[in-house]
Chains A and B, each alone.
Chain A
Amino acid sequence: MASNAVLISLCSFAVLILAYFTYGKYLARRIFRLDPDRQTPAHYKQDGVDYIPTRVPVLFGHHFASIAGLGPILGPAIAVIWGWGPAVLWVVVGCVFMGAVHDLGALTVSLRYQGRSIGDVCSDLIGHRARFLFLLIIFFLMSLAMGAFVNAISALFVKFNPDAIIPSFGLMLVAMCIGIAVYRLRIGLGPATAVGLIAFGGLIYWGVLQPLPTYAWFASEETQELLAEGRAAGESVDNGSIGAVAFLEQGGHEQAAADLTAAASTASRTWIYVLLAYGFIASVLPVWLLLQPRDYINSFQLYFALALLVAGLAVAAATGSEFNVIDAAVYRPQPEGAPPMVPFLFVTIACGAVSGFHSLVSSGTTVRQLNRETDALPIGFGAMLTEGALAILVIMACVAGLGAAAWQEGGAYATWGGIQGGGLGVQLSAVVKGGANFLSVVGISPRIGTAFLAVTVVAFAMTTLDSATRLLRFNVEEIFRSLKMEPLANRYFASLIAVAGIALFAQPKGAVLWVLFGTTNQLLAGLTLLAVSLFLFKLRRPIVYTIIPMVIMLAMTAWAMAFQLDKFRDEEQWLLFSVSVVVLAMTAWLIVEAILSFRRGRGGLSIEHDDESHDEPAEVTAATHLG
């Protein structure tokens, strides 16, 4: 039965909004007891540097830009393999009862701990071992995430969108020009932005006109000639290697197809090395030269892409476009070759439903700018729900925008093998193509739309890659210091470990890699929820709202890892096996820490709390501010 994409989206948005005004307010008022009159760290530590009282619209923009990125795009794009129903349901339910609770909880606990980071708070609430566990999780999390991103970009460049190569690398030059213009030549921000965005548009057009099928560089001359002849004869030869191989197979050139497949693998590996080298170089370049200006352009891309997708979906609904019709099944109990939906759905969609990474942003930076305690509701709870809405849009791009062919035999989503075959590029390509179809409804050519969206996701991944390489280095240094191995905590060795860590995971394992990342991310969420639960427990408040999400997260993590272990051992994938063992061990460790913490009882809270003074008038004031 065909379903209406806009209707599903609107219903999901309505539930999210309803949850904000009901469950969110209940938690803020009754459980976390946010008090508009209690001074926040932004006020009593105000320094104009880190601690700045900031209005909700400003802080929401900063916070949302910090949590929205490639995460809520990749996860949902994989998870729709089990049908759109479970994916939408998990995004909505997970967002409301876990993700938003997690973000609001992290923000509130950090708020009461004078704006300290969640790692510090864990150390204080759970114990010093928790601090080390936190650092270890962060290392695996960042290495896996960056490995997945490198894998996804290389697959996208080679197998699906060679038209994104010129604009993606051109964008770096544009960003550097903007950096020099604004920070060195002191040219106005507005003109520099205008010129930069026009140049970016030109680069996309250039990329569309001149895609770079780098896989062909590694193919034999005969294969190249066959492809050139096909294109010269006006046949539709897709620029990506997957399409080109299909073209050769249809023409009966089995040998050339095999040659091209091998060439594509070589090209993907080469791109992985190029991207790793880029990550290393970019991480040592001055921030003003590349990172800041490219981040600046990325923010335009994020909001522009979001606005266009929403507009496209709305126009598709209004005009009765085919892209408003969901082609995928509501529920696919056992797609061929796919792991079971439970527990894998819950670790595949991490960032769109619940993400441990958000606790870092919430506790580290956002908390230091909260003007009033009650602002934690729109910032912590609200921004997470908005990210859930983004995940819903991604799901619709895959299940409605992509077209029916993707779900039929031979299509990308027909089997798990289909979405595994092209690494994580398949999922990115699905979002890009589906999204471009939505954009075509508002008059943007599908080729331009595809290139624009491809460059946007690549830009997200690459900006994250270079900054993460830099940050991972500090993380490694800290781990060595906490192990009392000071000589190894130097920048060069730490940088080497950081890049090696990313390289280790940047292998073409596709969705498996993402599942590992999702599992680690959920583990971090579990750790944060444990800290929040302990905080509430020590204050003698109900912990059911945070402990149940924590138990679910840890159970799904352990279940998924235990399932993967068998598979990795059978397939002799020893690296992934080892990582799974480590993740499983960390999960067990976290469970032990949780039990020990609760057994220690309610005492030992090192901060002031005012439950005794929390009287009825205070409740009324809070209720007024929370609406």
Chain B
Amino acid sequence: MPELTSGTNSAPRVSIILIRESAEQVTGSGCCGRLEGDSSLTGGARAFQRARSQQEAFGILHRAVVEFFADEQRRSELTIVTVDPRNQVYLFPKLVKDVWRYRPGWWCGLCTALQFFSLPAVIINGRVLSRRGQLLDPDALCHAIREILSAPHAQSVHGEFS
């Protein structure tokens, strides 16, 4: 079973953050209002169609990365995490940590840490790759990852992808 995270102390060479709303998060706040997960109770895809189509678009990106970089994931060279923007307790420190670790440049780093990006967003090694909420093409994403992996040291992606 491929592990999600590196069990070692060294940083993965590629850290991908996918920011999108989780299904459970759009069905209310707190207990007693959530029925997510049971399609007969939520009307399946009908309940939140727009969020659903966005999740499915992210699914394509996610699957592309998982399929093309399965070995890298297994070797803990690449991590991918899907976070809900409401989970700021995790998201904010994670963004700051990635910026600190991968040094994407002060302006890019500032934009990432202060969340100057619209949703949904794709962030690789502390740099925002998605533009104004438009999702990346899976090929472009995989190309950006390949470039980082082929570089001698962990780094941020080059400007042309951003």
Contacts and interface: CB of A to CB of B under 8 A. Distances in A.
Interface of A: 37, 39, 43, 46-50, 52-55, 57-58, 61-62, 65-72, 117-120, 135, 138, 141-142, 145-146, 149, 182-183, 186-191, 193, 286-288, 291-292, 294-296, 298-300, 302-303, 351, 355, 357-358, 360-361, 363-368, 371, 459-460, 463-468, 470-471, 473-475, 477-478, 521
Given A120-B38, A188-B116, A52 B82 contact: yes
Given A49-B56, A300-B88, A292 B26 contact: yes
Contact of B81 (A50, A54, A72, A120): A54
Contact of B119 (A65, A189, A367): A189
B51 interface: yes
A186 B50 contact: no
A459 B59 CA distance: 31
Contacts of A65: 25, 29-30, 86-87
A51 to B, nearest CB: 9
22 contacts: A46-B66, A49-B62, A58-B82, A62-B22, A69-B31, A135-B41, A138-B35, A183-B119, A186-B133, A188-B115, A190-B115, A287-B48, A298-B29, A302-B30, A360-B38, A361-B24, A463-B29, A463-B33, A466-B28, A471-B33, A471-B42, A478-B40
Contacts of B4: 53-55, 371
Q: Main secondary structure on chain B at its contact with chain A?
A: loop
Given A190-B114, A296-B85, A48 B58 contact: yes
B151 interface: no
B88 A299 contact: yes
Contacts of A183: 118-119, 133
From B30, B40, B55, B58, residue with most partner A Cβ within 10 Å: B30
A617 to B, nearest CB: 17
A43 B2 contact: yes
Given A48-B62, A69-B28, A145-B33, 9 more contacts: A50-B23, A65-B30, A118-B38, A299-B86, A360-B41, A361-B37, A365-B37, A368-B37, A464-B29
Contacts of B46: 474
Contacts of B86: 65, 295-296, 298-299
A365 B28 CA distance: 14
- Where chain A touches its partner, the secondary structure class is helix
Contacts of A292: 21, 25-26, 51
B35 A49 contact: no
B90 A70 contact: no
A360 B87 contact: no
A67 B32 CA distance: 8
B34 interface: yes
A54 B59 CA distance: 14
B31 A351 contact: yes
A145 B32 contact: yes
A119 B134 CA distance: 37
Given A54-B81, A292-B26, A43 B1 contact: yes
Contacts of B1: 37, 39, 43
A57 B90 contact: yes
A360 B23 CA distance: 13
Interface in B51-86: 51, 55-56, 58-63, 66, 81-86
A175 to B, nearest CB: 11
Contact of B34 (A188, A303, A361): A361
Contacts of B85: 189, 296
A518 to B, nearest CB: 11
Contacts of B22: 62, 365
Contacts of B152: none
Contacts of A300: 88
A609 to B, nearest CB: 19
B32 A287 contact: no
B158 interface: no
Contacts of B82: 48, 52, 54, 58
Nearest to A307: B89
A189 to B, nearest CB: 4
Contacts of A302: 29-30
B29 A62 contact: no
A464 B31 CA distance: 8
A67 B29 CA distance: 8
Contacts of B38: 117-120, 360, 364
Contacts of A66: 24-25, 30-31, 34
Contacts of B63: 46-48
Interface string B7-25: 0000000000000011111
Contacts of A299: 29, 86-88
Contacts of B81: 54-55, 58
A27 to B, nearest CB: 22
Contacts of A46: 62-63, 66
Given A190-B115, A190-B116, A468 B23 contact: no
A97 to B, nearest CB: 20
State the 5 A-B residue pairs at the shortest beta-carbon distance, nearest first: A69-B30, A364-B37, A48-B62, A190-B115, A464-B33
B133 A365 contact: no
A444 B30 CA distance: 25
Nearest to B62: A48
A53 B66 CA distance: 11
A521 B85 CA distance: 30
B90 A365 contact: no
A62 B24 contact: yes
A53 B80 CA distance: 9
A519 B87 CA distance: 31
A360 B104 CA distance: 41
Contacts of B90: 57-58, 61
Contact of B118 (A52, A189, A477, A521): A189
Given A57-B90, A62-B22, A365-B23, A355 B61 contact: no
Given A183-B119, A463-B28, A478 B41 contact: yes
B34 A71 contact: no
A360 B26 contact: no
B46 to A, nearest CB: 8
Contact of A68 (B24, B30, B114): B30
Question: Which residue, A37, A65, A71, has most C-beta atoms of chain B within 10 A?
Answer: A65
Interface in B124-140: 132-133
B83 to A, nearest CB: 6
Contacts of A474: 35, 40-43, 46-47
Contacts of B2: 43
Contacts of B30: 65-71, 298, 302, 460, 463-464
Interface string B83-101: 1111111100000000000
